[in-house]
Amino acid sequence: MTLSEEERWKAVLDCDPIYDGKFFYGVKTTGIFCRPSCKSKNPKRENVVFFDTSAEARAWGLRPCKRCRPDLAEFQPQKELAEKIKGVYDLYYSDHGRVREELKKLGVSRNRMSQVFYTHYGKIPGEYLNTLRIASAQKLLIHTQGSTLQIALQSGFESLSTFYTQFRRLTGVSPKEYRCSVLRREESR
């Protein structure tokens, strides 16, 4: 299917991702080429040239846009951001200050982070962090003799009541009941 210049121009104005990969557009005044879905400021029509491939745009002397990355076969900045956020949580879940510090380096608002994380993982960050913290607490309850308070703090909970609430919500039992049931199972082997 061959697209007319006007169809291509409309796709650029609409930032329509359906046309990504079907054509590229270059801007003569900036020396850059983009995907049709690029969210950069719309160029003047007289400065735009259309290409069927990114190779044609490069041959014309244009460089790829750093925002929409038309030089990559697949560009999913939201997925990359979600993975970075998850990486911070996975590494620093037990240290609230460090989590805040590392997330701040990503340069995205808390609301946007929550949206992106939820879109990609189906959980809000607080739920995910609680899951990590409870998993850590379960290991500590089994493999250490630490008190419930010590384990709660080591796992990243800032209050004992929150720890008890989240532990029971995710496991169905209290931390003490969990520890006892696991120890009984191991003794009966």
pLDDT score, position 1: 57
Mean pLDDT of 44-51: 94
Mean pLDDT of 137-147: 94
pLDDT score, position 70: 87
Assess contact for 93 and 82: CB atoms under 8 A. no
Identify each DSSP E strand in the chain by its residue range.
Answer: 24-27, 32-34, 48-51, 63-64
pLDDT score, position 74: 63
Q: Which residues does 122 contact at the CB level (< 8 Å), separation at least 6?
A: none
pLDDT score, position 39: 87
Q: Check 15, 34, 38, 180 and give the catalytic one.
A: 34
Q: Which residues does 146 contact at the CB level (< 8 Å), separation at least 6?
A: 140, 154
Active site residue 180: no
Higher pLDDT, 73 or 113: 113
Residue 117 backbone dihedrals phi, psi, to 5 degrees:
-60, -45
